[in-house]
């Protein structure tokens, strides 16, 4: 039987104990495993909504910081036209994606 303080559940046990697992996930995230390996998290709607809000806040802060950096670069003459700025931004984005 799944206990309240357990944080890991197999996919098979999840299928058998859905209600208990959902109740537990309201308290803290559960790791669902398949073949002994982590496959998914089961989290509460409230936690998911909180995480999305935090992500949106971080993304907004990053956008503001990037805009400020771009304005500062423009002010010191790093580029003169929108086309130059776009070229610089696209090169930086490609470098970022290839580093992942």
The full set of domain ranges for the chain reads: 8-43, 46-99
What pTM was computed for the model? 0.56
For the segment 23-51, what is each residue's pLDDT rounded down to a tens digit? 999 999 999 999 989 999 999 999 999 99
Closest alpha carbon to 92 in 71, 66, 68, 74: 66
93: left (phi over 0), alpha (psi -120 to 50) or beta: alpha
3-state DSSP assignment of residue 44: coil
Q: Cβ(66)–Cβ(89) under 8 Å?
A: no
> Which pLDDT does position 6 carry in this prediction?
58
For the segment 55-76, what is each residue's pLDDT rounded down to a tens digit? 888 888 888 888 888 788 878 8
């Amino acid at each position: 039987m799944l206990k309240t303080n357990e944080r890991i559940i197999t996919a098979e046990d999840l299928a058998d104990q859905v209600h208990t697992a959902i109740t537990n996930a309201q308290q803290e995230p559960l790791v669902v495993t398949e073949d002994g390996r982590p496959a998914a998290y089961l989290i509460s709607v409230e936690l998911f909504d909180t995480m999305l809000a935090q992500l949106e806040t971080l993304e907004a802060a990053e956008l503001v910081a990037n805009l400020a950096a771009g304005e500062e670069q423009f002010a010191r003459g790093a580029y003169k036209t929108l086309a130059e700025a776009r070229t610089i931004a696209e090169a930086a984005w490609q470098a970022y994606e290839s580093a992942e």
